[in-house]
Copies of this chain bind each other. A is one copy, B any other.
Amino acid sequence: MEHKKIILTGDRPSGPLHLGHYVGSLINRIEHQNQYEQYVMLADVQALTDNFEHPEKVRDNILQVGLDYLSVGIDPTKSTIFIQSMIPQIAELTIFYLNLVSVNRLKRNPTVKTEIKQKGFGEHIPAGFFMYPVSQAADITIVKGNLVSVGDDQLPMLEQCNEIIRSFNRIYKTPVFSEVEWLPSKTPRLPGIDGKTKMSKSMGNAIFLSDSADAVAKKVMSMYTDPEHIRVEDPGKVEGNTVFMYLDVFDPDKNTVEEMKAHYQRGGLGDVKVKRRLIEVLNTFLEPIRARRADWAKDPSQVMQILFEGTEKVYGVAEQTMSEVRRAMQLDYK
C-alpha cells in the first residue's frame, strides 16, 4: 500500500477567518483531506511574532478559528487539527535550523521584506518575526510534510525551507527530510469589499465566515463598484468591480451572472440590484456554514477536545521526527 502524501497547512489565529481564506485555502483543504494526510495548524506561536503584545487576541481566536474549520467542513476524522504552541518540538527544531541559515539570507527573503514594510516595524523588527521562515520550515518538517499549498507570494518561504532541508541532510549525513513540493492554490485572491487587492481582517475589508446575514448585507451594500457608475441608466464597468468579482466566485448560476454583466455594461442595471443578488448568493453559501457553527458552538469544550486530540497525535509524530533529528545530530545520549 502506498503512503498518502503529507500536507501541512494552517492559519495564524489572530482573527476569525473570512471569505478570502475560504476561496484561497479552506476550499482546497476540504478537497485535500480526501487525497492526503492533512495537518491543519493553529499557528499561535507564529501569530505571537507580530501580536506578542496582545496575547488575548491569539488566545480568543484559537476557539474561533477552530469553529471556522469545523463549520466549513474540515473533518477532524480526516484532518488533524492541532495547536502549534503545544508542540515544543517545533521550537527545538527551529533552534537547530537557525544554525543552518545566515542572518543575511534571512534579510534577503522577499516575503519577509514585504511583510516588514507592511507591518511598519521600522527599525524595531522583532527577532521572532525576522526568523519566522525558519520556524515555518520546522512546522512543515516536524510532521515530515511533503506538500504545502500556498500562493506564489509564499514561494520564497518554501525555497528557504528546502534550503534548510538540503543543509540538514548534507551536514548530518542522514536523509531525515525530503524536499517539500509546492501545490499551487487554484483560486485567485479575493479582493476586500473596498476593492483593495487583498481581503484582510487588519484592513477592515473582510466578510467573515461567522458574519450574520445582516452583517453580510451591510458589508455588501458598502462594497466598491464602479465609481463612475452614478445613475442607473449609465453604462457601468465590470472589470475591477468588486461585486461582480464576488459573483464570479460565489454565484453558481453563471448564465445569470453573464446576463447581469451585459446589462450593467450597457446601462440600466443599478448597483443596488446587483448587490442584492450578491447578498442572496453569499447568505445562501454561508447559511449551512453558520448552522454547523451554531451547532459546534453549543459545546466549545468539545471543539477544544478535538484540537487537543489532534495535538496529541502530532506530539507523537513530532517526537518520532525529533528522535531521528537527535540521532542524526548525535544528541541521542540515552
Indicate whether A171 reaches chain B with its CB closer than 8 angstroms.
yes
Copy tally for this chain in the complex stands at: 2
CA distance A98 to B134 in the complex (A): 13
Q: Contact between A98 and B126 (Cβ–Cβ < 8 Å)?
A: yes
Indicate whether A304 reaches chain B with its CB closer than 8 angstroms.
yes
Q: Contact between B330 and A308 (Cβ–Cβ < 8 Å)?
A: no
Chain B residue contacts of A259, Cβ below 8 A: none
Q: How large is the interface on A (under 10, 10 to 19, 20 to 34, 35 or more residues)?
A: 35 or more
Indicate whether A3 reaches chain B with its CB closer than 8 angstroms.
no
Indicate whether A296 reaches chain B with its CB closer than 8 angstroms.
no
Our pick among B56, B100, B135 for the contact of A330 (Cβ within 8 Å) is B56
CA distance A88 to B323 in the complex (A): 13
CA distance A231 to B62 in the complex (A): 80
Indicate whether A38 reaches chain B with its CB closer than 8 angstroms.
no
Question: 6 closest pairs, A vs B, by CB?
Answer: A98-B128, A99-B128, A52-B99, A59-B330, A91-B91, A55-B330
A interface residue numbers (CB < 8 A to B)? 44-45, 48-49, 52-53, 55-56, 58-59, 62, 83, 85-86, 88-89, 91-92, 94-96, 98-104, 106, 123-131, 134-135, 171-172, 304, 307-308, 326, 329-331, 333-334
Starting from the known contacts A49-B98, A58-B331, A95-B128, 10 additional A-B residue pairs (CB-CB under 8 Å) come to A44-B331, A45-B96, A48-B96, A59-B331, A83-B333, A95-B95, A100-B126, A104-B124, A106-B127, A127-B131
